[in-house]
């Protein structure tokens, strides 16, 4: 099994366990469950920088990125920096995150929050909504078309936006449907963890104009974003570039100033 297969297998077991501890009705009683939609796609369309900043402690490819800062500190810093939204890793085993991170970020900010997770079940969408998320990630590499349809429809019903992540043309073509809001091109190969912006360049013309285009991973500087904007990208997910610093919010602020200056 490659790393992606292992993560998904573990995630399915985790969801089964969580369902026995906290039924959906438990999460549906959350005070946050009836929040209105705070649209990331609209913010990206209106933004000159399009930055989606990420909170990530570690990853399978980099064992430790930054475990020293509280998620509240990072979230406040990102919002002050003027990013469009924040991605919060909630996987514990491989990325060191949790749903508590999402709740803590929601408690101190107003911008859109993405639950970044390996979603395999509608239950995880209900969890996301209950913890303050505004959008969820669906990964085409781990889902069949019917599953993407089911999950994205459920997300709409919960007033959550959907960012659909693809890595190649095959995944893109199987996934396109009107229940998606944004198409994210992940420049990192989830099987090898190698990164190349060429993936975003190649797939850009294949993404229909009704979807907001988002480029994910491997974005190192303002020049990368300026080039990708010429390919129609309006959103840019930046994680390690900010999180590897002692002050991610300050790093994001400087990055946006370079873009908009």
pLDDT in tens, 8-43: 999 999 999 999 999 999 999 999 999 999 999 999
pLDDT at 62: 67
- Find all residues with CB under 8 Å of 35, minimum gap 6, and list them: 129, 132, 134, 159
85 near 134, Cβ under 8 Å? yes
The single residue of 129, 217, 240, 241 carrying the catalytic annotation is: 217
| DSSP letter for each residue of 53-87 | EEE-S--SSSS-S--SS-HHHHHHHHHHHT-SEEE
pLDDT tens-digit map of 36-90: 999 999 999 999 999 999 998 888 766 776 777 899 999 999 999 999 999 999 9
Active site (annotated) includes residue 54: yes
pLDDT of residue 67: 77
Distance CA 124, CA 136 (A): 9
Model confidence at 123, pLDDT cuts 50, 70, 90, reads very high
Picking from 47, 78, 82, 56, the residue whose alpha carbon sits closest to that of residue 235 is 47
165 counts as catalytic: yes
> Could you say which of 186, 187, 200, 241 is catalytic?
186
Assess whether 260 carries a catalytic annotation: no
Mean pLDDT across the stretch 148-169? 97
Torsion sign (Cα): 14, 15, 20, 21? positive
* List 79, 122, 171, 216, catalytic entry: 216
Catalytic residue among 116, 129, 154, 213: 116
Residue 1: predicted pLDDT:
67
Domain that holds residue 119: 3-260
Residue 111 CA, distance from chain mean position: 14
Q: What is the number of domains present in the chain?
A: 1
Q: What is the pTM of this model?
A: 0.95
Contact between 164 and 146 under an 8 Å Cβ cutoff? The reply is: no
Give 6's pLDDT tier (boundaries 50, 70, 90).
Answer: very high
Q: What integer pLDDT is reported at residue 69 of this predicted model?
A: 84
56 is catalytic: yes
Among candidate residues 56, 129, 154, 213, the one labeled active-site is 56
Q: What CATH number is given to the structural domain containing 164?
A: 3.20.20.70
Does the annotation mark 217 as catalytic?
yes
CA 22/CA 27 separation, integer angstroms: 7
Q: How many angstroms separate the CA atoms of 253 and 255, rounded? A: 5
Question: Where are the extended beta strands (E) located within the chain?
Answer: 51-55, 85-89, 113-116, 135-139, 161-166, 182-186, 212-216, 233-238
Q: Which residues pair with 86 in a beta bridge?
A: 53, 113
Mean pLDDT calculated for residue range 228-251: 94
More confident of the two residues 194 and 114: 114
Q: What is the largest CA-CA distance in the chain?
A: 52
pLDDT reading at 106 higher than 90 = yes
Catalytic-role residue among 54, 117, 122, 240: 54
Average pLDDT for the chain? 94
């Amino acid at each position: 099994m490659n790393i992606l297969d292992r993560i998904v297998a573990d995630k399915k077991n985790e969801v089964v366990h969580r369902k026995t501890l906290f039924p959906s009705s438990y999460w549906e009683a959350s005070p946050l469950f009836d929040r209105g939609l705070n649209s990331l796609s609209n913010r990206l369309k209106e933004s000159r920088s399009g930055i989606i900043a990420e909170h990530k402690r570690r990853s399978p490819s980099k064992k430790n990125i930054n475990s020293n800062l509280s998620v509240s500190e990072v979230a406040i810093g990102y919002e002050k920096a003027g990013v469009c939204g924040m991605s919060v890793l909630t996987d514990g085993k491989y990325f060191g995150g949790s749903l508590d991170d999402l709740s803590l970020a929601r408690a101190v900010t107003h911008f859109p929050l993405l639950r970044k997770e390996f979603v395999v079940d509608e239950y995880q969408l209900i969890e996301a909504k209950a913890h303050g998320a505004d959008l969820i990630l669906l990964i085409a590499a781990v889902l069949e078309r019917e599953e993407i349809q089911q999950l994205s429809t459920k997300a709409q019903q919960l007033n959550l936006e959907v960012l659909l992540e693809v890595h190649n043309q095959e995944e893109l073509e199987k996934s396109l449907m009107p229940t998606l809001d944004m198409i994210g091109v992940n420049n990192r190969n989830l099987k090898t963890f190698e990164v190349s912006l060429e993936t975003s360049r190649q797939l850009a013309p294949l993404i229909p104009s009704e979807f907001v285009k988002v480029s994910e991973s491997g974005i190192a500087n303002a020049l990368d974003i300026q080039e990708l904007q010429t390919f129609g990208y309006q959103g840019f997910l930046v994680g390690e570039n900010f999180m590897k610093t002692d002050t991610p919010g300050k790093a994001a602020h400087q990055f946006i100033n370079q873009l908009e200056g």
